[in-house]
């Protein structure tokens, strides 16, 4: 049932043009609120998708940083146990920072 149908029914019941106009205005307001809510929901969905993509990118960066930190720790242990020289350690750290 549309707003026009309701306005016709109200007019047919003899409530008068004033009451019909008020009812029609009320229905139009409610209809527009529905549109606004739908538009707001679309905006929220779009924002949520963008945040999801950003989180996925950040997760990837965090994984890469953790791997680099693990590599530096292993290199430090090798250096401390004299398996590699200080120069080799610095080269490993430089490579992992790229």
pLDDT score recorded for residue 98:
81
pLDDT score recorded for residue 86:
95
Would you give per-residue pLDDT tens digits along the chain (98 residues)?
A: 555 555 555 555 554 555 556 556 656 666 666 667 777 777 778 888 888 899 999 999 999 999 999 999 999 999 999 999 999 999 999 999 88
- Cβ atoms of 89 and 76 closer than 8 Å: yes
DSSP string of 17-48, one letter each residue: HHHHHHHHHHHHHHHHHHHHHHHHHHHHHHHH
How crowded is the C-beta side of 17, counted as CA atoms within 13 Å?
Answer: 0
DSSP state of 2: -
Whether the model clears a pTM of 0.85, i.e. scores above it, the answer is no
* Whole-number Å distance between alpha carbons of 36 and 32: 6
* Whole-number Å distance between alpha carbons of 40 and 13: 37
């Amino acid at each position: 049932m549309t707003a026009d149908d309701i306005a016709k029914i109200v007019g047919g019941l003899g409530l008068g043009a004033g009451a019909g106009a008020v009812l029609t205005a009320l229905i139009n307001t409610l209809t527009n609120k529905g549109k606004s809510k739908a538009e707001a929901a679309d905006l929220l969905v779009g924002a949520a998708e963008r945040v999801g993509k950003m989180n996925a990118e950040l997760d990837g960066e965090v994984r890469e940083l953790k791997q680099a930190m693990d590599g530096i720790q292993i290199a430090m242990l090798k250096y401390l146990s004299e398996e590699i020289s200080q120069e080799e350690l610095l080269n490993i750290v430089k490579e992992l920072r790229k």
